[in-house]
Structure formats: structure tokens, C-alpha cells
């Protein structure tokens, strides 16, 4: 017998807590998808085309809107801090800073994977998770290693196809508006001299989403 949605949500909230994350229910109407978000991924992010969780491999905003309309509720997850990093000195942050956040990204993606699969096998087979940041399951993504056209056909070469999910922002979700709709505070992270990646502190708060029906 399938548990009620309320019972299933509580189970997932408890699992999120065990993983060190906080979870809140959010109405699907409060998940905001905007076209400008994709521009931010395509113009200004060093990860474009280098990770299969990001554009152009991730769903477009229009695709995300259509899919979200097929759900009625979501579970927003909040992750506080960066595992293993308590302080941040912008002068010590390398140009390729993505590997610095490997433990954070794995924490987020492993958590949504576990929650999504738990809901699926509990009978909520439409469950789907969206993470945060570019995927980092591999030291170098096959998309980054490849030379040639950049298109979705590259996804067939993913080494972790069962675990990789698009990030919220990559799929066009306005994370700031969505998080605020759930009653949480969120702000941009200041960087030294406005230089991309040279963040001034390690008090990073990250978010992910599980769609449920």
C-alpha cells in the first residue's frame, strides 16, 4: 500500500535531515521558471558546455515549465556550508575553483538522488530531483573532454547517467525567487573586486528541489 503524500513527504524530510539538509514543502506554483536564468548559464558561467548537468544539455526553460505543470508539490532542500571548508581566502582560490566545491556538490547530488529514488520505490514514480552547480562526479566530464559539436547527443556518453540530474538554475529555475517563496532568505555571495569565483566567505547556502506527485 502506497503511503499518503503527506507521510511520504515527512519520510523524505527526515531523510534529508539525516543527510544534513533542511527540507520544506513548496507549492508548484511557487517554483519560478524564467528565460533570463538560461542566459546567466550561457553567458558568464565558465561551466557552459562542460558538464552534462548544465546547458546546452539541461532542459530549456520551456521544457521545465511544461514538466513542472505535471506536478502538484515539491520539496525544497537547503544545504548550509561547504564540507571541509570553514574559511575562505579569495587570494588562495584557484582559477579553476570548481574542484574546491566537490564535496559540497556531491553532498547535494547524492542527497537528491537518494530522496528521488526513495520516493520512486515507495510508489511515487514521478519523483524527480534537480540539484545545484555543475556536476562533478567525474574529474573531467566527457563533455569537457570532447572536441566538436556541443549538443545533447553527448549525454549518451555520461559515465554516471543514472545519478546525474540537471541543476535548478541550468533548467531555468529562478532559485532566488523560488527560495524566497518558500520563506527562506537568500542572497548573492560577494566576491573580491567583483572577480568571478573569488568569494569572500565560506558561508554558502545551496538549494535543490524534488518534484513529487
pTM of the prediction?
Answer: 0.91
Cell 523560488 sits on residue: 178
Average pLDDT over residues 82-86: 85
The alpha carbon dihedral of 28, 29, 35, 38 has a sign of negative
Element (DSSP H or E) covering residue 38: helix 35-42
Domain span holding position 132:
5-212
Buried b / exposed e along 31-44 (16+ C-beta atoms within 10 A): bbbbeebbeebeee
The count of structural domains within the chain is 1
**Residue 154 has what pLDDT?**
81
pLDDT tens, 42-68?
Answer: 888 888 888 889 898 999 999 999 999
Amino acid at each position: 500500500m502506497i503511503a499518503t503524500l503527506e507521510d511520504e513527504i515527512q519520510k523524505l524530510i527526515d531523510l534529508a535531515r539525516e543527510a544534513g539538509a533542511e527540507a520544506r514543502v513548496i507549492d508548484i506554483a511557487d517554483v519560478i521558471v524564467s528565460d533570463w536564468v538560461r542566459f546567466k548559464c550561457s553567458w558568464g558561467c565558465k561551466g557552459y558546455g562542460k558538464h552534462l548537468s548544465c546547458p546546452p544539455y539541461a532542459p530549456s526553460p520551456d521544457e521545465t515549465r511544461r514538466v513542472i505543470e505535471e506536478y502538484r508539490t515539491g520539496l525544497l532542500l537547503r544545504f548550509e556550508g561547504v564540507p571541509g571548508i570553514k574559511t575562505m581566502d579569495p587570494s588562495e582560490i584557484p582559477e579553476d575553483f570548481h574542484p574546491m566545491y566537490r564535496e559540497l556538490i556531491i553532498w547535494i547530488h547524492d542527497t537528491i538522488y537518494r530522496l528521488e529514488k526513495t520516493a520512486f520505490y515507495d510508489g511515487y514514480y514521478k519523483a524527480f530531483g534537480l540539484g545545484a552547480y555543475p556536476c562533478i562526479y567525474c574529474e573531467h566530464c566527457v563533455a569537457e573532454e570532447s572536441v566538436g559539436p556541443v549538443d545533447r547527443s553527448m549525454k549518451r556518453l555520461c559515465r554516471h547517467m543514472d545519478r546525474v540530474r540537471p541543476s535548478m538554475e541550468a533548467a531555468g529555475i529562478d532559485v532566488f525567487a523560488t527560495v524566497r517563496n518558500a520563506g527562506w532568505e537568500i542572497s548573492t555571495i560577494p566576491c573580491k573586486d567583483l572577480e568571478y569565483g573569488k568569494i569572500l566567505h565560506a558561508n554558502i547556502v545551496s538549494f535543490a528541489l524534488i518534484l513529487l506527485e
